[in-house]
């Protein structure tokens, strides 16, 4: 038996290494390197007797030089073993590998400096230089060594990264990543971390006594806490003044000035009225009059000639009357696509039309009357502009009403299911909203009745701040007292074209007082939850039940949200009239469901497959026009061929559909076909064309489905059938990757190959990081029909592993190829190896 076997060794610089072997009882010992015997002259041996056992012990040693290792060119590392002989037989020792040690100079990733708020999480990434053996990493703060053993707030275990769970002021400093192995030490670039404190107001002071101007003041100071380390100053004023006599206080010396001002105002109004009357009289030959914009669907800019005013079948609210107290001058390009309409205004190329209506104000058009002429070029400050944000804010508070037949009292979308230890999936059909409950999340012998609810009211929208808008539906899951061992994966469809330069996207949760609080920004590191943004869906890993919403704030005019466009049609009460209804809605399945529900009640037909329009945050409106109507077969009311949604209407629709309508009348009952085009375009933006070709005679109507895909009716699945990855394979993957491995084969490599390698601090806090990663993969690929991406990732890991650590003949390695090809896909067949040294082959 061997008393000492040769050990793995590293050659540092040009110094040879010694391999040693001892065995008893042994008559002879020889080394064998790379399959060839080492010459007897290169062995250094001695023999002695073990006094405790009385056996003869032989001790043999050889030297291996750097030149020998460099000259060897084989499929694996340079290796040696020793063979011992005795009168009882022979024995072979373990293989010992010999490698040349090195450590490259440049780090693969240097830590980056950052500024974080107090109590926030700090994550500094570090990837050491390539080296043999693999470099160990330590962290220095201000040149002093950091240790997670002496500070529970610090974690240095996650892939060489430094994680400070809750930032303290004392954590500000210069951080350096130190990498070292047997041959050298390397220092990364220094990263400066600043922990800042934003200022906060203290209590308000008591009101002062009422002064001679009938005013009183109170003040506050920005010292609770005071801003530190570049923290923001408090927002708002430090002093407040208010009237203390309800406006009844008046100095007699000011009476003369007051009455003089009133008199001047009355005279000015009288002069203005006379001037307007003279102007209208002098220009009456043009036949242009102030329009009652409530006579058009949605209150769009247009003209009207002096004719007897009558009801309009497109009117959304026939009880609304014009308010002539509000007026704005419009110098923007007029929206006329129909040639017959345009000819009427050719003599007036530079006309400025005065549109006066409370409905126009309610739609926000008056607020942005001159956007076409005054809109900024390409970008604007982070708050977009005070005017824009204030308009958006009023829109969310209900001052800018939505256009369309939808009210807030909708039927609640709710789905429930009972889940136990095997887990399962909960789906709200046709909304893009689902919940994955992983296997093992619920304790054994326990079950929970879980639910998901989509809030369809507008109460939540009114509590959003500044320029924020909803990018998807507000979703609640529960019950409130839910107790799980691992996070659930919630999927919510969104309508944003995700770009960190143009959007600030946050996940928010509703508090008990129905206000929204930020949970995380999707671009920041967070250990309380995880957010993965795909092109059309957001995948969340959540520990706590509650109401969640994805909220976006545009940072530049290039920010884009997607709109879904659809056109429906139906015969009106009069058999000669046909109505076309065009819908513009946030591009999420849930929002389009509202359109489907409304059209099913009124018997509408989907006339063209819905299309997507990118809508930019450039403050310009959305125009909808009808074109190429056969003029000898159909007629349309004058000046209704183009209609318009104001920018705040569209941008702040918050999952509520907008629509406008065109009413066409056929000249003859024999006309049975309608063909035309609907153009939907944003001013200085994109355009989409909806092609309409339909039969209008009731006997020729065909049923057109609302959805091009199969409607989803399954609301819950439980047990193994709800998951794409078989449980046995999932457990096998977790057992392989959850355990730290010196060769780099751990859950972080799995996350990297599955393209989930950001916010690794969240996974590091989980009991089984691999299981949580696979849950996220399940949620992300719930609509795909195969496991190709996971199988490819495991296959690639297997190839990387086989290159970095070739298999020894006597030491089998984990079989990654069998996991991906045989067990995971279910089609692989393993064949017997041809020889002892040949690699296993797979078919399938």
CB atoms within 10 A of CB 650: 21
Structure tokens at 585: 């809605």
Q: What is the pLDDT of residue 191?
A: 93
Please tell me whether residues 572 and 690 are part of one structural domain.
yes
Nearest in space to 680 (alpha carbons), one of 671, 666, 670, 690: 690
| Better-predicted residue by pLDDT, 50 or 188 | 188
Q: What is the DSSP letter of 823?
A: I
Q: What is the pLDDT of residue 800?
A: 67
CB atoms within 10 A of CB 457: 12
Please tell me whether residues 546 and 617 are part of one structural domain.
no
* Contact yes or no for 423/437 (Cβ under 8 A): yes
pLDDT tens figures, 94-144: 999 999 999 999 999 999 998 999 999 999 999 999 999 999 999 999 999
The verdict on residue 361 lying in a domain is no
pTM (two decimals): 0.56
* Contact yes or no for 789/534 (Cβ under 8 A): no
Structure tokens at 137: 């990493």
* Contact yes or no for 86/55 (Cβ under 8 A): no
Nearest in space to 591 (alpha carbons), one of 400, 431, 428, 412: 431
Distance CA 262, CA 624 (A): 46
Segment (H or E) for 601: helix 589-601
Is pLDDT at 539 greater than 90 in this prediction?
yes
Please tell me whether residues 528 and 456 are part of one structural domain.
yes
Q: Which residues neighbour 259 within 8 Å (Cβ) at sequence distance 6 or greater?
A: none
| Better-predicted residue by pLDDT, 826 or 613 | 613
Query: Which position has the token pair 């496991």?
Result: 787
Distance CA 509, CA 158 (A): 28
CA dihedral (372, 375, 378, 384) in degrees, to 10, reads -140
Pairing of strands 191-196, 185-187: unpaired
The verdict on residue 349 lying in a domain is no
Q: By residue range, what is the domain housing residue 644?
A: 560-695
* Contact yes or no for 331/348 (Cβ under 8 A): no
Pairing of strands 114-117, 191-196: parallel
List residues bridging with 217 in a β-sheet. 241
Which of these ranges, 28-32, 65-69, 385-389, has the smallest mean pLDDT? 385-389
Query: Which position has the token pair 């009183």?
Result: 216
Is pLDDT at 193 greater than 60 in this prediction?
yes
Please tell me whether residues 143 and 174 are part of one structural domain.
yes
Is pLDDT at 831 greater than 60 in this prediction?
no
Q: Final residue of a domain: which of 65, 84, 100?
A: 100
Q: What is the pLDDT of residue 223?
A: 87
The verdict on residue 130 lying in a domain is yes
Q: What is the pLDDT of residue 741?
A: 66
Nearest in space to 614 (alpha carbons), one of 549, 521, 684: 684
339-366: average pLDDT:
34
CATH of the domain at 615: 2.60.40.2660
| Better-predicted residue by pLDDT, 391 or 776 | 776
Distance CA 643, CA 647 (A): 13
Q: Rg of the Cα trace of the chain? A: 38
705-718: average pLDDT:
60
Please tell me whether residues 643 and 534 are part of one structural domain.
no
Distance CA 565, CA 563 (A): 6
Distance CA 480, CA 473 (A): 20
- The domain tally of the chain equals 4
Please tell me whether residues 95 and 117 are part of one structural domain.
no
Which of these ranges, 455-459, 796-800, 836-840, has the smallest mean pLDDT? 836-840
pLDDT tens figures, 663-708: 999 988 888 899 999 999 999 999 999 999 998 865 444 444 444 3
Q: What is the pLDDT of residue 247?
A: 55
CB atoms within 10 A of CB 692: 18
Which of these ranges, 114-123, 313-322, 459-468, has the smallest mean pLDDT? 313-322
Structure tokens at 432: 């893009």
Q: Taking the alpha carbons of 100, 101, 105, 107 in that order, is the dihedral positive or negative?
A: positive
Distance CA 476, CA 484 (A): 17
Distance CA 528, CA 515 (A): 19
Please tell me whether residues 444 and 510 are part of one structural domain.
yes
Residue 38: C-alpha distances to residues 41, 46, 65, 84, 96 (Å): 8, 17, 13, 14, 14
Q: What is the pLDDT of residue 712?
A: 56
The verdict on residue 255 lying in a domain is no
Q: What is the pLDDT of residue 246?
A: 63
Is pLDDT at 180 greater than 80 in this prediction?
yes
| Better-predicted residue by pLDDT, 455 or 312 | 455
Please tell me whether residues 564 and 551 are part of one structural domain.
no
Please tell me whether residues 535 and 657 are part of one structural domain.
no
CATH of the domain at 35: 2.60.40.10
The verdict on residue 792 lying in a domain is no
The phi-psi region of residue 463 (left if phi > 0; otherwise alpha if psi is between -120 and 50; otherwise beta) is alpha
Nearest in space to 170 (alpha carbons), one of 202, 201, 190, 144: 144
Q: What is the DSSP letter of 205?
A: P
| Better-predicted residue by pLDDT, 703 or 511 | 511
The verdict on residue 578 lying in a domain is yes
SS3 790: helix
Is pLDDT at 723 greater than 60 in this prediction?
yes
Q: What is the pLDDT of residue 254?
A: 55
Please tell me whether residues 542 and 443 are part of one structural domain.
yes
Per the omega criterion (within 30 degrees of 0), is the bond before 225 cis?
A: yes
Q: Final residue of a domain: which of 50, 70, 100?
A: 100
Nearest in space to 304 (alpha carbons), one of 317, 320, 316, 322: 322
Q: What is the DSSP letter of 383?
A: T
Q: What is the pLDDT of residue 582?
A: 95
Per the omega criterion (within 30 degrees of 0), is the bond before 479 cis?
A: yes
* Contact yes or no for 223/202 (Cβ under 8 A): yes
* Contact yes or no for 590/493 (Cβ under 8 A): yes
Please tell me whether residues 78 and 144 are part of one structural domain.
no
Mean per-residue pLDDT over the chain, rounded? 77
Please tell me whether residues 426 and 546 are part of one structural domain.
yes
* Contact yes or no for 472/538 (Cβ under 8 A): yes
* Contact yes or no for 663/636 (Cβ under 8 A): yes
**Measured between alpha carbons, how far apart are the two ends of the chain, in Å?**
45
Give Cα 74 distance to the centre of its chain: 48
Q: What is the pLDDT of residue 450?
A: 93
622-637: average pLDDT:
90
Structure tokens at 113: 């400096």
Structure tokens at 421: 């230890």
The verdict on residue 164 lying in a domain is yes
Structure tokens at 567: 């056109």
pLDDT tens figures, 408-454: 345 568 999 999 999 999 999 888 999 999 999 999 989 999 999 99
Q: Final residue of a domain: which of 68, 100, 132?
A: 100
Which of these ranges, 23-32, 386-395, 470-479, has the smallest mean pLDDT? 386-395
CATH of the domain at 512: 2.60.220.30
SS3 374: helix
Structure tokens at 824: 């995971």
Out of 172-176, 519-523, 524-528, give the one with best mean pLDDT. Answer: 172-176
| Better-predicted residue by pLDDT, 739 or 633 | 633
Distance CA 474, CA 586 (A): 14
The verdict on residue 574 lying in a domain is yes
List residues bridging with 376 in a β-sheet. none
pLDDT tens figures, 52-88: 888 889 999 999 999 999 888 888 889 999 999 988 8
């Amino acid at each position: 038996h061997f008393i000492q076997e040769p050990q793995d060794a590293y050659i540092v610089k040009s110094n040879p290494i010694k391999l040693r072997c001892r065995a008893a009882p042994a008559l002879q010992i020889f080394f064998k390197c790379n399959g060839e015997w080492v010459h007897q002259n290169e062995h250094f041996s001695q023999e002695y007797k073990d006094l405790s056992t009385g056996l003869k012990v032989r001790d043999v040693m050889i030297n291996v030089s750097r030149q020998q290792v460099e000259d060897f060119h084989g499929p694996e590392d340079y290796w040696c073993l020793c063979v011992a002989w005795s009168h009882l037989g022979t024995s072979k020792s373990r293989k010992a590998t010999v490698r040349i040690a090195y450590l490259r100079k440049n780090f693969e990733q240097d830590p980056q400096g950052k500024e974080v708020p107090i109590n926030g999480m700090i994550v500094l990434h570090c990837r050491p230089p390539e080296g043999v053996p693999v470099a160990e990493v330590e962290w220095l703060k201000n040149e002093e060594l950091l240790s997670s053993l002496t500070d529970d707030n610090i974690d240095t275990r996650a892939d060489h990264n430094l994680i400070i769970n809750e930032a303290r002021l004392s954590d500000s400093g210069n951080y350096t990543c130190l990498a070292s192995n047997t041959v050298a030490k390397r220092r990364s670039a220094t990263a400066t971390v600043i922990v800042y404190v934003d200022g906060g107001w203290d209590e308000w002071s008591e009101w002062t006594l009422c002064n001679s101007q009938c005013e009183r003041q109170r003040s506050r100071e920005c010292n609770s806490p005071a801003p530190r380390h570049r923290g923001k100053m408090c927002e708002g004023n430090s002093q407040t003044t208010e009237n203390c006599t309800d406006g009844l206080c008046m100095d007699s010396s000011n009476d003369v000035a007051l009455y003089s001002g009133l008199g001047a105002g009355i005279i000015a109004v009288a002069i203005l009225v006379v001037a307007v009357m003279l102007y209208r009289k002098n220009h009456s030959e043009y036949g242009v009059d102030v329009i009652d914009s409530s006579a058009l669907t949605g209150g769009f800019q247009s003209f009207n000639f002096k004719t007897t005013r009558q009801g309009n079948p497109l009117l959304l609210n026939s009880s609304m009357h014009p308010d002539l107290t509000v007026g704005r001058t419009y110098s923007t390009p007029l929206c006329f696509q129909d040639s017959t309409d345009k000819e009427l205004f050719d003599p007036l190329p530079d006309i400025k039309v005065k549109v006066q209506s409370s409905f126009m104000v309610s739609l926000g058009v008056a607020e942005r009357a001159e956007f076409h002429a005054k809109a900024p070029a390409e970008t604007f400050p982070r708050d977009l502009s005070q005017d824009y944000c204030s308009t958006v804010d009023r829109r969310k508070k209900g001052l800018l009403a939505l256009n369309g037949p939808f009210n807030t009292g909708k039927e609640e979308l709710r789905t429930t299911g009972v889940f136990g230890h095997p887990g399962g999936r909960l789906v709200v059909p046709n909304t893009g909203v689902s919940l994955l409950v992983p296997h093992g999340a619920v304790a054994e012998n326990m079950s929970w009745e879980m639910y998901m609810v989509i809030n369809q009211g507008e109460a939540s929208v009114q509590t959003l701040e500044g320029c924020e808008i909803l990018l998807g539906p507000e979703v609640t899951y529960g019950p409130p007292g839910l107790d799980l061992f691992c996070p659930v994966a919630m999927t919510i469809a969104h309508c944003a074209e995700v770009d960190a330069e143009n959007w600030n996207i946050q996940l928010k949760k509703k508090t008990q007082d129905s206000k929204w609080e930020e949970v995380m920004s999707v671009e920041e590191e967070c250990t309380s939850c995880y957010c993965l943004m795909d092109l059309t869906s957001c995948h969340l890993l959540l520990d706590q039940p509650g109401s969640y919403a994805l909220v976006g704030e545009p940072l530049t005019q290039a920010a884009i949200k997607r709109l879904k466009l659809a056109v429906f049609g139906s015969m009106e009460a009069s058999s000669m009239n046909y109505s076309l209804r065009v819908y513009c809605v946030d591009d999420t399945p849930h929002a389009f469901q509202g359109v489907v529900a409304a059209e099913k009640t009124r018997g509408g037909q989907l006339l063209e497959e819905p299309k997507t329009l990118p809508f930019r945050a450039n403050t310009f409106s959305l125009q909808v026009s009808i074109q190429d109507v056969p003029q000898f077969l159909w007629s349309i009311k004058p000046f209704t061929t183009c209609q318009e949604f104001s920018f705040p209407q569209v941008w702040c629709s918050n999952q509520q559909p907008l629509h406008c309508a065109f009413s066409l009348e056929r000249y003859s009952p024999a006309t049975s076909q309608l063909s035309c085009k609907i153009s939907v375009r944003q001013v200085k933006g994109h355009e989409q064309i909806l092609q309409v070709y339909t039969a209008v005679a009731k006997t020729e109507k065909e049923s057109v489905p609302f959805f091009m895909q199969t409607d989803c009716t399954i609301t819950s699945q439980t047990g193994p059938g709800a998951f794409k990855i078989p449980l046995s394979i999932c457990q096998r993957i977790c057992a392989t990757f959850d355990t730290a491995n010196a060769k780099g084969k751990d859950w972080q490599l799995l996350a990297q190959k599955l393209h989930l390698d950001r916010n690794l601090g969240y996974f590091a806090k989980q009991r089984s990081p691999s299981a949580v990663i696979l849950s996220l993969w399940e949620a992300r690929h719930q609509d795909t029909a195969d496991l190709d991406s996971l199988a490819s990732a495991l296959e690639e890991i297997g190839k990387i592993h086989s290159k970095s650590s070739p298999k020894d003949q006597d030491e089998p390695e984990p079989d990654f190829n069998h996991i991906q090809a045989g067990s995971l896909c279910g089609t692989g067949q393993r064949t017997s190896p041809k020889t002892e040294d040949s690699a296993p082959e797979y078919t399938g």
